[in-house]
Amino acid sequence: MSDPTNPTNAGRPPKPTKSQKAQARAERAAELIRQQQAAERRRNMLVVASVVVAMVLIVGVLFFINASRDSVDDIDAAPAGKSEWGLTIGDADAPHDVIIYEDFLCPFCGQLERESSEDLNRLAEAGKVQVEYRPFNLLQADYSVAAANAFAEVLEKEGPEVAKKFHDLLFEDQPSESGEQPGNDWLLEKAVEAGADEATVKAGIEGGGQEDWVEGATRAAADAGVNSTPIILLDGKAYQEGRTIEEIADNLISELE
Amino acid sequence: MRQWLGLVARLVTGGVWIYAGAVKLPDPYASVQAVRAYELLPSSVAEAVGYLLPPLEIVVGLALVLGLLTRGAAVVSAVLFVVFIVGIASVWARGMEIDCGCFGGGGFDPDARSSYPWEIARDAALLLASCYLVWLRRSRLALDNLLFRRTTSPTGG
């Protein structure tokens, strides 16, 4: 730019022509618009960023509330072998204990039983684990109640060994949750097949004599925070390592081996 | 006209998201179980996804209904629908019978086989609506129009 205090005008560039002036004006105006646009872009970015941050915060806070409200991690169940509502196999001094909450009708329970029952029997016999099965009425179905009732009756009258056999048979031939479910005749048949004396358990199975037991077991499960089945507790903690029941069962067995 | 259509797409898609998220939010455990039932994710990941989905659905739904960062929300919405369609198609292909858990519920469902096609069709329609919003950029009665009002003339870069 020229220096107006210099009287000699030496080195002064030639006077700008009209068109050059107009061009300079246009450039200044364009510059102003560019600045405004840059300011607008900054403002927009700031708005986008703050809205995104707010959204992420909301999602994050709800995520953590959700995670802390979930109940599987704080199931507070009676230790294995110490419940009034279960069937225990294996030695109390075994290095691990497993508790399985189940409903006789729940398909995933059936799958878990078919995948794990034999191995758990073997490991319990070998003194590697103590397992307590805690059947209860989760599904609020007639069969869930009838089967648990029959189980309790067999357990009381015939002892844990026959009851375990009965329990395994019920899961081996588990009726479908969607179809029609068998009644007490079928349950009695299975109990006899498991080694129960028909005359001893008939009245209790057919008359629903253990329905108080079923109610008690169901209440105890609810009190412990169990609201789905199957729930596996390994050494008191919910165990769910695996994508499928099959994987979970396999992983559980290999932890116990 | 297109912008009004965009408003409709926003309200429908956003409404579905809000409903789906709100139904699942109160029961995180069921939500985790519903994700597990797909047997696609390792347990701990399924757990995180089960906790994350309901809040995410609600926020995406609200953003769509309000027209707040519509394009971004529509992209997330479209991605989620693609994931859901893949998930449902995969259980269907594996012959499993589960409730999709889209609006709560989840787990075994004896009538699942007959609902898969309709669930996929619904998600595909909503996916289309989401893609339309991504393409459209602007729609009527959106907060975006207030927040990102042009303060300069649209000349140059």
Strands A96-102 and A231-234: antiparallel
Q: Which residue has the higher pLDDT, B156 or B97?
A: B97
Residue B152 lies in a domain: no
Q: Do B41 and A243 touch (CB under 8 A)?
A: yes
Q: How far is B109 from chain A (nearest CA, A)?
A: 8
CB distance A138 to A103 below 8 Å: yes
* Closest chain B CA to residue A251: B43
So what's the pLDDT on residue A129? 95
> Each residue of B21-62: pLDDT tens digit?
999 998 887 888 889 888 888 777 888 999 999 999 999 999
Q: Give the total number of structural domains in chain A.
A: 2
Q: Does residue B127 register a pLDDT over 50?
A: yes
CATH number of the structural domain spanning residue A210: 3.40.30.10
Q: Taking 50 as the threshold, does the pLDDT of residue B157 lie above it?
A: no
Structural domain includes residue B156:
no
Chain B environment of A107 (Cβ under 8 Å): 108
Nearest CA in chain A to B60: A55
Residues A153 and A229 in one domain: yes
**What is the four-CA torsion angle of A119, A124, A128, A131, rounded to 10 degrees?**
100
Binary contact (A33, B153; C-beta < 8 A): yes
What per-residue confidence (pLDDT) applies to A1?
47
- Is residue A140 domain-shared with residue A65, that is, in the same domain? no
Question: Taking a C-beta distance cutoff of 8 angstroms, is the pair A218, A102 a contact?
Answer: no
Angstroms from B60 CA to nearest CA on chain A: 9
A91 and A197: one domain? yes
* Helix or strand (DSSP H, E) at B153: none
B52 part of a folded domain: yes
Which residue, among B51, B52, B114, B155, would best test binding to A if mutated, counting the most A CBs under 10 Å from its CB? B51
Residue with the bigger pLDDT between B155 and A193: it is A193
pLDDT of B65 above 70: yes
**For chain A, where are the alpha helices, taking DSSP H only?**
18-69, 107-125, 142-172, 184-193, 198-207, 211-223, 245-256
**Domains: count for chain B:** 1
Which positions ≥6 away from A10 have C-beta within 8 Å? none
Note whether residue B150 is domain-resident. no
Q: Is the pLDDT of residue B156 over 50?
A: no
Residues A91 and A216 in one domain: yes
* Helix/strand/coil for A183: coil
Do residue A31 and residue A152 come from a single domain?
no
Does residue A137 share a domain with residue A20?
no
For chain B, list residues whose CB is within 8 angstroms of any CB belonging to chain A.
25, 28-33, 36, 39-43, 46-47, 51-52, 54-56, 58-59, 63, 68-69, 72, 108, 110-111, 147-148, 150-153, 155-157
A3, part of any domain: no
A59, A63, A242: residue with CB nearest B43: A242
Residue A7 belongs to a domain: no
Q: Given pLDDT bands bounded at 50, 70 and 90, which one contains residue B136?
A: very high
Q: Is A34 on the interface with B (CB under 8 A)?
A: yes
Query: Given an 8 Å threshold on Cβ–Cβ distance, is A227 in contact with B58?
Result: no
Task: Provide the domain limits for residue A196.
Answer: 87-256
Do the domain assignments include residue A107?
A: yes
Interface ipTM: 0.87
A119 and A19 share one domain: no
User: What pLDDT, on the 0 to 100 scale, is given for residue A11?
Assistant: 60
Cβ contact, residue pair A37, B152, below 8 Å: yes
- Tell me what pLDDT residue B43 has: 73
Please check the confidence at residue B66 and state whether its pLDDT lies above 90: yes
Q: Is residue B146 part of a domain?
A: no
Domain hosting residue B47, numbered range: 2-138
Helix, strand or coil for residue B46?
helix
The mean per-residue pLDDT over the stretch B111-133 comes to 94
Q: Which two tokens stand for residue B33?
A: 């179980």
The answer to the question of residue A27 being in a domain is yes
Q: How far is A135 from chain B (nearest CA, A)?
A: 19
pLDDT of residue A2: 47
Provide the pLDDT for residue A14. Answer: 74
Q: Is residue A1 part of a domain?
A: no
Relative to beta strand A129-135, strand A96-102 is: parallel
A36 touches chain B (CB under 8 A): yes
Q: Are A177 and A116 in contact (CB under 8 A)?
A: no
Task: For residue B15, tell me if it sits in a domain.
Answer: yes
Of A69, A98, A132, the residue at which a domain comes to its end is A69
Report how far residue A80's alpha carbon sits from residue A87's, in angstroms, rounded to the nearest whole number: 10
Low-confidence spans in chain A with pLDDT less than 70: 1-13, 70-74
**Which pLDDT does position A74 carry in this prediction?**
62
Residue B6 lies in a domain: yes
Residues of A in contact with B43 (CB under 8 A): 240-243, 248
